[in-house]
Amino acid sequence: MAEIFATASLARMKERPLTYYARLSVVAAVLTFVLKLAAWRLTGSVGLLSDALESLANLAAAFVALGSLAVAARPADEDHAFGHSKAEYFAAGVEGTLIIGAAGAIGWNAVDRFFSPQALHEPFMGIAISIAASLVNLAVARVLIAVARRRDSVALGADAKHLMTDVWTSAAVIAAVALVAFTGWKWLDPLIGLFLALHIVATGVTLVRESMLGLMDTGLPADQLETIRTTLAKYAPEGVQYHALLTRRAAARRFMSVHLLMPGAWPISRGHDLAERIEADLRKAVPGLVVLTHLEPDDDPVSWHDVELERKDSAQ
């Protein structure tokens, strides 16, 4: 019976739109920000203030992810024949920028408090509240990571990384606050905040870089490209060669184009039928792949150059 309920739950999870998970992230961001703000107000810790500021950035990022996923889900139209999936890259870029901005605010407060150290108030109550907020973030982040991997969502993946960064930040802040409470080392609180700011900057830069690569039509990863080449190579014994292999990725969607060179003596119908088989195999090998093939006779010298198309030959 338990297995039946688990299967039904997984089926419902798969059917839910990605915006459902973005809304879940918004709710989590609101809850954690309120909790961490309360923890800071109780303790006066710059580390906990830094944690609260990062949660505020999480909230803004969650709204951006929600908006981008709503746009990405729109069907293709005359102005966007290949769909709107690239909107997810904007979300990843904005989230990375927000993370860097939050890190700047954290660093500023840490430096100020380092030169003007203050005693903490109600540290253990603040720690308990911060732990509760971190558990919320951890639970939501694990859900987003699973969905992002299964459905190849850039926006949800960026949101999940953002939340996991917040979890690790909170863990370090909690440890620092506890250590300050036990030792009385007031300088440790802002020092931890400063180190966390540097760590958060690195995460933000990574997200911005991934966003830029996606917007620049980066090719498919090496393992998928190798799968495509292996699939095409299977047809060499049937007299099929290829070149001008080009690939690109737009969030969960993948695109490729390739020139298939076949014997010039073949009738068009035979070449077309074989091309249909090749395209079907490619789509099976790389789920979500959009395949565009161009047939050429291998006995025509023009077929081997394509200079006028300004395409880089990638024949093997």
Q: Give the per-residue pLDDT at 174.
A: 82
Query: Is 226 within a domain?
Result: yes
Give yes or no: residues 17 and 52 share one domain. Answer: yes
Residue that finishes a domain, picked among 215, 233, 254:
215
CATH number at residue 262: 3.30.70.1350
User: How would residue 279 be classed by pLDDT, with cut points 50, 70 and 90?
Assistant: very high
Query: Is 78 within a domain?
Result: yes
Which of the pair, 301 or 145, is modelled with greater confidence?
Answer: 145
Contact 59, 104 (CB under 8 A): no
Q: Is the overall model pTM greater than 0.85, yes or no?
A: no
Give yes or no: residues 247 and 192 share one domain. Answer: no
Give yes or no: residues 119 and 44 share one domain. Answer: yes
pLDDT tens for each residue of 103-145: 777 677 667 666 766 666 777 888 888 889 889 989 998 998 8
* Residue 78 to residue 56: CA distance in whole angstroms: 38
Place of tokens 């039509």: 217
Which of the pair, 7 or 67, is modelled with greater confidence?
Answer: 67
User: How would residue 298 be classed by pLDDT, with cut points 50, 70 and 90?
Assistant: confident
Q: Give the per-residue pLDDT at 21.
A: 84
Place of tokens 């060179």: 261
Query: Is 46 within a domain?
Result: yes
**In total, how many domains does the chain have?**
2
DSSP for 249-293 reads EETTEEEEEEEEEE-TTS-HHHHHHHHHHHHHHHHHHSTTEEEEE
Instruction: Give me the mean pLDDT over the 307-316 stretch.
Output: 44
Give yes or no: residues 58 and 134 share one domain. Answer: yes
Give yes or no: residues 266 and 200 share one domain. Answer: no
Q: Give the per-residue pLDDT at 232.
A: 92
Q: Give the per-residue pLDDT at 217.
A: 67
pLDDT tens for each residue of 20-48: 887 888 888 888 888 888 888 888 776 67
Give yes or no: residues 181 and 40 share one domain. Answer: yes
The residue segments making up the domain with residue 74 are 2-215
Q: Give the per-residue pLDDT at 76.
A: 64
Give yes or no: residues 129 and 276 share one domain. Answer: no
* Residue 277 to residue 273: CA distance in whole angstroms: 6
% of the chain at pLDDT higher than 90: 7
User: How would residue 276 be classed by pLDDT, with cut points 50, 70 and 90?
Assistant: very high
pLDDT tens for each residue of 55-110: 776 777 777 767 666 666 666 666 665 665 666 666 667 767 777 777 777 677 66
Give yes or no: residues 191 and 238 share one domain. Answer: no
Give yes or no: residues 49 and 169 share one domain. Answer: yes
Give yes or no: residues 226 and 199 share one domain. Answer: no
Helix residue ranges per DSSP H, the chain: 2-15, 18-43, 46-72, 87-115, 123-151, 154-183, 188-215, 222-233, 268-285
Least confident of 144-153, 181-190, 238-247, 260-269: 181-190
Give yes or no: residues 68 and 22 share one domain. Answer: yes
Query: Is 316 within a domain?
Result: no
Query: Is 314 within a domain?
Result: no
CATH number at residue 168: 1.20.1510.10
Q: Give the per-residue pLDDT at 280.
A: 92
